[in-house]
Protein backbone atom coordinates (compact mmCIF):
# COMPACT_ATOMS: atom_id res chain seq x y z
CA UNK A 1 0.00 0.00 0.00
CA UNK A 2 1.39 3.41 -1.00
CA UNK A 3 1.68 5.88 1.84
CA UNK A 4 3.19 8.56 -0.45
CA UNK A 5 1.98 8.96 -4.02
CA UNK A 6 3.59 11.64 -6.19
CA UNK A 7 2.13 12.22 -9.66
CA UNK A 8 3.34 14.51 -12.46
CA UNK A 9 5.04 16.78 -9.95
CA UNK A 10 6.52 20.00 -11.33
CA UNK A 11 8.15 22.79 -9.36
CA UNK A 12 9.28 26.01 -11.02
CA UNK A 13 11.02 29.01 -9.46
CA UNK A 14 11.34 32.50 -10.87
CA UNK A 15 14.92 33.69 -10.38
CA UNK A 16 15.96 37.08 -11.75
CA UNK A 17 13.30 36.97 -14.47
CA UNK A 18 14.34 33.44 -15.43
CA UNK A 19 12.26 30.30 -14.88
CA UNK A 20 14.16 27.48 -13.18
CA UNK A 21 12.59 24.02 -13.32
CA UNK A 22 13.62 22.36 -10.06
CA UNK A 23 11.37 19.30 -10.52
CA UNK A 24 10.26 18.05 -13.92
CA UNK A 25 7.31 15.63 -14.04
CA UNK A 26 8.21 13.42 -11.06
CA UNK A 27 6.18 10.24 -10.53
CA UNK A 28 6.99 8.24 -7.43
CA UNK A 29 5.27 5.77 -5.12
CA UNK A 30 6.58 4.94 -1.64
CA UNK A 31 5.12 1.98 0.21
CA UNK A 32 4.17 1.90 3.87
CA UNK A 33 7.04 0.81 6.12
CA UNK A 34 9.78 1.27 3.51
CA UNK A 35 13.09 3.01 3.95
CA UNK A 36 13.22 4.87 0.66
CA UNK A 37 16.29 6.71 -0.59
CA UNK A 38 16.23 9.73 -2.90
CA UNK A 39 19.71 10.41 -4.18
CA UNK A 40 21.32 12.88 -6.52
CA UNK A 41 24.22 15.26 -6.83
CA UNK A 42 24.06 18.81 -5.45
CA UNK A 43 21.44 20.85 -7.27
CA UNK A 44 19.62 17.81 -8.64
CA UNK A 45 16.34 18.81 -6.96
CA UNK A 46 16.14 16.19 -4.22
CA UNK A 47 15.71 18.64 -1.33
CA UNK A 48 12.95 20.45 -3.23
CA UNK A 49 11.29 17.07 -3.71
CA UNK A 50 11.39 16.17 -0.03
CA UNK A 51 10.02 19.59 0.94
CA UNK A 52 7.20 19.04 -1.54
CA UNK A 53 6.20 15.85 0.27
CA UNK A 54 5.04 17.85 3.31
CA UNK A 55 4.08 20.94 1.26
CA UNK A 56 6.75 23.20 2.71
CA UNK A 57 7.21 23.75 -1.04
CA UNK A 58 3.91 23.84 -2.90
CA UNK A 59 4.18 22.22 -6.34
CA UNK A 60 3.60 24.27 -9.47
CA UNK A 61 1.82 21.30 -11.05
CA UNK A 62 0.94 17.74 -10.09
CA UNK A 63 -0.12 16.18 -6.81
CA UNK A 64 1.22 14.74 -3.57
CA UNK A 65 -1.01 12.31 -1.71
CA UNK A 66 -0.43 10.99 1.80
CA UNK A 67 -2.50 7.88 2.50
CA UNK A 68 -4.73 8.91 -0.41
CA UNK A 69 -5.25 12.49 0.79
CA UNK A 70 -4.24 15.15 -1.74
CA UNK A 71 -2.30 17.82 0.17
CA UNK A 72 -3.29 20.50 -2.35
CA UNK A 73 -6.87 20.16 -1.12
CA UNK A 74 -5.90 20.94 2.51
CA UNK A 75 -5.55 24.39 4.02
CA UNK A 76 -4.79 25.96 7.37
CA UNK A 77 -5.54 23.69 10.31
CA UNK A 78 -6.08 20.59 8.17
CA UNK A 79 -2.69 20.98 6.46
CA UNK A 80 -0.94 21.57 9.79
CA UNK A 81 -2.60 18.45 11.18
CA UNK A 82 -1.33 16.40 8.24
CA UNK A 83 2.18 17.86 8.61
CA UNK A 84 2.18 16.70 12.23
CA UNK A 85 2.13 13.16 10.81
CA UNK A 86 5.30 13.86 8.81
CA UNK A 87 8.40 14.27 10.97
CA UNK A 88 11.52 15.88 9.52
CA UNK A 89 15.20 15.97 10.44
CA UNK A 90 17.87 18.12 8.83
CA UNK A 91 21.60 18.25 8.22
CA UNK A 92 21.98 21.21 10.59
CA UNK A 93 19.99 19.62 13.48
CA UNK A 94 17.94 22.85 14.06
CA UNK A 95 17.87 22.47 17.83
CA UNK A 96 16.86 25.31 20.16
CA UNK A 97 20.06 26.36 21.91
CA UNK A 98 18.28 27.91 24.88
CA UNK A 99 16.46 24.66 25.69
CA UNK A 100 17.98 21.52 27.12
CA UNK A 101 17.59 18.11 25.46
CA UNK A 102 14.31 17.32 27.22
CA UNK A 103 12.94 20.75 26.34
CA UNK A 104 13.84 20.33 22.67
CA UNK A 105 11.99 17.03 22.43
CA UNK A 106 9.00 18.46 24.31
CA UNK A 107 8.76 21.50 22.03
CA UNK A 108 6.55 20.06 19.24
CA UNK A 109 4.29 18.48 21.87
CA UNK A 110 3.86 21.84 23.57
CA UNK A 111 2.93 23.40 20.23
CA UNK A 112 0.35 20.63 19.80
CA UNK A 113 -1.21 21.51 23.17
CA UNK A 114 -0.05 18.41 25.07
CA UNK A 115 0.08 18.87 28.85
CA UNK A 116 3.58 19.52 30.19
CA UNK A 117 3.68 16.37 32.33
CA UNK A 118 2.56 14.18 29.43
CA UNK A 119 5.02 15.86 27.09
CA UNK A 120 7.91 15.15 29.45
CA UNK A 121 6.85 11.52 29.81
CA UNK A 122 6.70 11.08 26.04
CA UNK A 123 10.04 12.87 25.58
CA UNK A 124 11.75 10.59 28.09
CA UNK A 125 10.39 7.53 26.27
CA UNK A 126 11.89 8.80 23.03
CA UNK A 127 15.22 9.66 24.63
CA UNK A 128 15.45 6.01 25.68
CA UNK A 129 14.83 4.92 22.09
CA UNK A 130 17.66 7.14 20.81
CA UNK A 131 19.85 6.16 23.78
CA UNK A 132 20.19 9.64 25.29
CA UNK A 133 18.21 9.25 28.50
CA UNK A 134 21.27 10.36 30.51
CA UNK A 135 21.52 13.64 28.56
CA UNK A 136 18.07 15.14 29.18
CA UNK A 137 19.46 18.10 31.15
CA UNK A 138 22.32 18.83 28.73
CA UNK A 139 22.17 21.71 26.25
CA UNK A 140 22.93 21.41 22.51
CA UNK A 141 26.30 23.15 22.93
CA UNK A 142 27.36 20.31 25.23
CA UNK A 143 26.56 17.56 22.70
CA UNK A 144 28.48 15.97 19.86
CA UNK A 145 27.12 16.07 16.30
CA UNK A 146 25.81 12.53 16.57
CA UNK A 147 24.09 13.28 19.88
CA UNK A 148 22.48 16.41 18.40
CA UNK A 149 21.09 14.37 15.53
CA UNK A 150 19.72 11.80 17.99
CA UNK A 151 17.90 14.61 19.80
CA UNK A 152 16.56 15.83 16.44
CA UNK A 153 15.30 12.33 15.66
CA UNK A 154 13.59 12.06 19.04
CA UNK A 155 11.96 15.47 18.49
CA UNK A 156 10.76 14.42 15.04
CA UNK A 157 9.15 11.31 16.55
CA UNK A 158 7.42 13.20 19.35
CA UNK A 159 4.05 13.56 17.59
CA UNK A 160 3.92 9.88 16.52
CA UNK A 161 4.41 10.57 12.80
CA UNK A 162 3.69 7.97 10.13
CA UNK A 163 6.47 9.32 7.92
CA UNK A 164 9.97 10.53 8.75
CA UNK A 165 11.78 12.72 6.20
CA UNK A 166 15.57 12.92 6.52
CA UNK A 167 17.12 15.72 4.46
CA UNK A 168 20.90 15.07 4.28
CA UNK A 169 20.66 14.05 7.94
CA UNK A 170 24.11 12.43 8.04
CA UNK A 171 26.08 14.76 5.76
CA UNK A 172 27.61 16.72 8.65
CA UNK A 173 28.69 13.59 10.53
CA UNK A 174 31.87 11.51 10.42
CA UNK A 175 31.64 7.97 8.94
CA UNK A 176 31.44 6.15 12.27
CA UNK A 177 28.70 8.44 13.58
CA UNK A 178 26.87 8.22 10.24
CA UNK A 179 26.76 4.42 10.57
CA UNK A 180 25.40 4.72 14.11
CA UNK A 181 22.64 7.14 13.03
CA UNK A 182 21.69 4.94 10.07
CA UNK A 183 21.49 1.91 12.34
CA UNK A 184 19.24 3.92 14.66
CA UNK A 185 16.94 4.86 11.77
CA UNK A 186 16.78 1.21 10.70
CA UNK A 187 15.92 0.19 14.26
CA UNK A 188 13.18 2.84 14.44
CA UNK A 189 11.76 1.65 11.12
CA UNK A 190 11.65 -1.96 12.30
CA UNK A 191 10.40 -1.16 15.79
CA UNK A 192 7.79 1.50 15.03
CA UNK A 193 6.92 0.70 11.40
CA UNK A 194 7.50 4.31 10.33
CA UNK A 195 8.04 4.99 6.62
CA UNK A 196 11.40 6.74 6.26
CA UNK A 197 12.49 8.84 3.27
CA UNK A 198 16.21 9.58 3.17
CA UNK A 199 17.54 12.40 0.97
CA UNK A 200 21.27 12.09 0.33
CA UNK A 201 24.09 12.50 -2.18
CA UNK A 202 25.97 9.55 -0.69
CA UNK A 203 25.41 6.14 -2.28
CA UNK A 204 26.87 4.49 0.84
CA UNK A 205 23.92 5.81 2.86
CA UNK A 206 21.45 4.27 0.42
CA UNK A 207 23.17 0.89 0.27
CA UNK A 208 23.44 0.76 4.06
CA UNK A 209 19.75 0.98 5.00
CA UNK A 210 17.38 1.69 2.10
CA UNK A 211 15.03 -0.85 0.53
CA UNK A 212 14.37 1.17 -2.61
CA UNK A 213 15.93 4.21 -4.23
CA UNK A 214 15.04 6.94 -6.71
CA UNK A 215 17.78 8.80 -8.58
CA UNK A 216 17.20 12.47 -9.38
CA UNK A 217 19.26 14.27 -12.02
CA UNK A 218 18.63 17.87 -13.11
CA UNK A 219 15.13 17.79 -11.66
CA UNK A 220 14.15 14.55 -13.39
CA UNK A 221 13.59 11.07 -12.02
CA UNK A 222 16.02 9.05 -14.15
CA UNK A 223 15.88 5.68 -12.39
CA UNK A 224 14.13 3.94 -9.51
CA UNK A 225 13.83 0.46 -8.07
CA UNK A 226 15.28 -1.81 -5.41
CA UNK A 227 18.72 -0.88 -4.12
CA UNK A 228 20.06 -4.32 -5.05
CA UNK A 229 18.87 -4.05 -8.67
CA UNK A 230 20.20 -0.55 -9.27
CA UNK A 231 23.53 -1.22 -7.56
CA UNK A 232 24.02 -4.41 -9.59
CA UNK A 233 22.95 -2.98 -12.95
CA UNK A 234 22.66 0.83 -13.13
CA UNK A 235 21.06 2.07 -16.34
CA UNK A 236 21.22 5.87 -16.20
CA UNK A 237 24.39 7.96 -16.42
CA UNK A 238 23.55 9.52 -13.05
CA UNK A 239 23.26 6.11 -11.37
CA UNK A 240 26.55 4.96 -12.87
CA UNK A 241 28.25 8.13 -11.67
CA UNK A 242 26.92 7.71 -8.13
CA UNK A 243 27.83 4.03 -7.94
CA UNK A 244 31.10 3.93 -9.89
CA UNK A 245 32.35 7.39 -9.01
CA UNK A 246 33.28 10.19 -11.39
CA UNK A 247 36.87 11.04 -10.52
CA UNK A 248 38.33 7.73 -9.33
CA UNK A 249 41.64 6.38 -10.53
CA UNK A 250 41.97 2.68 -9.88
CA UNK A 251 45.57 1.90 -9.11
CA UNK A 252 47.97 0.41 -10.01
CA UNK A 253 46.57 0.64 -13.56
CA UNK A 254 46.26 4.27 -14.67
CA UNK A 255 45.66 3.68 -18.34
CA UNK A 256 44.95 0.49 -20.24
CA UNK A 257 46.06 -0.32 -23.72
CA UNK A 258 42.37 -1.04 -24.27
CA UNK A 259 39.33 0.90 -23.15
CA UNK A 260 37.18 -2.24 -23.09
CA UNK A 261 35.99 -2.94 -19.57
CA UNK A 262 33.12 -4.56 -17.71
CA UNK A 263 31.77 -4.25 -14.20
CA UNK A 264 30.84 -7.54 -12.54
CA UNK A 265 28.76 -7.95 -9.40
CA UNK A 266 29.01 -11.15 -7.41
CA UNK A 267 25.72 -12.72 -6.44
CA UNK A 268 25.28 -15.00 -3.45
CA UNK A 269 25.73 -18.10 -5.61
CA UNK A 270 28.91 -16.91 -7.29
CA UNK A 271 30.63 -15.33 -4.29
CA UNK A 272 32.74 -18.37 -3.47
CA UNK A 273 33.64 -19.43 -7.01
CA UNK A 274 37.16 -18.73 -8.42
CA UNK A 275 35.58 -17.09 -11.46
CA UNK A 276 38.57 -15.04 -12.58
CA UNK A 277 40.94 -17.99 -12.42
CA UNK A 278 38.41 -20.10 -14.30
CA UNK A 279 37.81 -17.52 -17.03
CA UNK A 280 41.55 -17.20 -17.64
CA UNK A 281 41.92 -20.98 -17.82
CA UNK A 282 38.89 -21.30 -20.11
CA UNK A 283 39.80 -18.60 -22.60
CA UNK A 284 43.57 -18.55 -22.27
CA UNK A 285 43.50 -14.77 -21.98
CA UNK A 286 44.35 -12.56 -19.00
CA UNK A 287 42.05 -9.91 -17.56
CA UNK A 288 43.13 -6.80 -15.65
CA UNK A 289 41.49 -6.03 -12.30
CA UNK A 290 40.94 -2.27 -12.28
CA UNK A 291 38.84 -2.17 -9.15
CA UNK A 292 37.69 -4.57 -6.46
CA UNK A 293 35.37 -3.62 -3.62
CA UNK A 294 32.73 -4.97 -1.26
CA UNK A 295 29.60 -3.05 -0.32
CA UNK A 296 27.03 -3.58 2.42
CA UNK A 297 23.66 -3.78 0.67
CA UNK A 298 20.87 -4.11 3.23
CA UNK A 299 23.05 -6.17 5.54
CA UNK A 300 24.49 -8.38 2.76
CA UNK A 301 28.08 -8.22 1.53
CA UNK A 302 28.02 -7.69 -2.24
CA UNK A 303 31.27 -7.80 -4.21
CA UNK A 304 32.02 -5.82 -7.34
CA UNK A 305 34.95 -5.65 -9.76
CA UNK A 306 35.83 -3.70 -12.86
CA UNK A 307 37.83 -5.77 -15.33
CA UNK A 308 39.85 -4.65 -18.34
CA UNK A 309 39.29 -7.04 -21.24
CA UNK A 310 41.34 -7.89 -24.35
CA UNK A 311 40.84 -5.89 -27.54
CA UNK A 312 39.70 -8.88 -29.63
CA UNK A 313 35.91 -8.81 -29.91
CA UNK A 314 35.51 -12.61 -30.04
CA UNK A 315 37.60 -13.06 -26.90
CA UNK A 316 35.70 -10.34 -25.07
CA UNK A 317 32.39 -11.93 -26.05
CA UNK A 318 33.59 -15.34 -24.83
CA UNK A 319 34.68 -13.88 -21.48
CA UNK A 320 31.44 -11.95 -20.96
CA UNK A 321 29.29 -14.96 -21.84
CA UNK A 322 31.23 -17.14 -19.38
CA UNK A 323 30.88 -14.58 -16.59
CA UNK A 324 27.12 -14.48 -17.14
CA UNK A 325 26.92 -18.29 -17.26
CA UNK A 326 28.42 -18.59 -13.76
CA UNK A 327 25.81 -16.21 -12.32
CA UNK A 328 27.56 -12.84 -12.38
CA UNK A 329 25.81 -9.61 -13.29
CA UNK A 330 27.87 -8.05 -16.09
CA UNK A 331 27.66 -4.45 -17.31
CA UNK A 332 29.91 -2.88 -19.91
CA UNK A 333 31.45 0.42 -18.78
CA UNK A 334 33.30 3.12 -20.67
CA UNK A 335 36.77 4.40 -19.84
CA UNK A 336 35.61 7.65 -18.26
CA UNK A 337 33.50 5.67 -15.81
CA UNK A 338 36.51 4.01 -14.22
CA UNK A 339 39.41 6.43 -14.72
CA UNK A 340 39.88 10.03 -13.73
CA UNK A 341 39.39 12.76 -16.26
Kindly report, residue by residue over 40-95, the tens digit of the pLDDT: 888 888 889 988 998 988 999 999 999 999 999 988 889 888 888 899 988 888 89
CB 126 within 8 A of CB 66: no
The domains of the chain are located at 2-234, 245-337
CA atoms within 13 A on the CB side of 229: 11
Query: What is the predicted pLDDT for the residue at 186?
Result: 92
Q: At what angle do helices 101-111 and 145-157 cross, to 10 degrees?
A: 20
Computed from CA positions of residues 297, 186, 133, 151, in that sequence, does the dihedral angle turn out positive or negative?
Answer: positive
Distance (Å) of CA 58 to CA 19, 51, 279:
16, 8, 55
Element (H, E) at 156: helix 145-157
List, in sequence order, every residue forming a beta bridge with 6; answer none if it has no partner: 28, 64
Res. 271 pLDDT band, cuts 50 70 90: low
pLDDT at 334: 67
Checking if the pLDDT of 301 tops 90, the result is no
The correct answer on CATH 3.40.50.300 for the domain covering 2-234 is yes
- pLDDT the model gives residue 238: 87
211-239 pLDDT per residue, tens: 999 999 999 999 999 998 888 888 888 88
Beta strands 18-31 and 2-15 are antiparallel
Highest mean pLDDT: which of 95-109, 167-181, 284-298?
Answer: 95-109
* Residue 270 pLDDT grade (very low, low, confident, very high; cuts 50, 70, 90): low
Helix, strand and coil content of the chain, in percent to the nearest 5, comes to 35, 30, 35
User: Does pLDDT of 339 surpass 50?
Assistant: no
For 195, how many CA atoms within 13 A lie in the half-sphere containing its CB? Answer: 20
What does the pLDDT look like over 4-55, one tens digit per residue? Answer: 999 999 999 888 888 889 999 999 999 999 999 999 888 888 889 988 998 9
Cα atoms in the Cβ-side hemisphere of radius 13 Å centred on 248: 14
Please tell me the pTM assigned to this model: 0.80
Choices 3.50.50.60, 3.40.50.300, 1.10.150.120, 3.30.70.260: CATH for 245-337: 3.30.70.260
User: What does each C-alpha distance from 223 to 25, 262, 315 come to in angstroms?
Assistant: 13, 21, 32
DSSP labels for 109-137? HHHTT--HHHHHHHHHHHHHHTT-GGGTT
Fold: same for 2-234 and 245-337: no
Report whether pLDDT(195) > 90: yes
Amino acid sequence: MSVIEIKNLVKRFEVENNTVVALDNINLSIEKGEIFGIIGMSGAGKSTLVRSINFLEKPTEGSVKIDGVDLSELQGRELRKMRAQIGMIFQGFNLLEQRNVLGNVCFPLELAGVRRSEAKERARELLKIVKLEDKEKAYPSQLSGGQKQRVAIARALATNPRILLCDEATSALDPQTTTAILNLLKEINERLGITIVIITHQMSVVTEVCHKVAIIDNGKLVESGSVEEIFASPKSDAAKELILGKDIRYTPVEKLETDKAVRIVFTENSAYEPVLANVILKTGNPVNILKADTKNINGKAVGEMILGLPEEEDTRTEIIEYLKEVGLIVTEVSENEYTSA
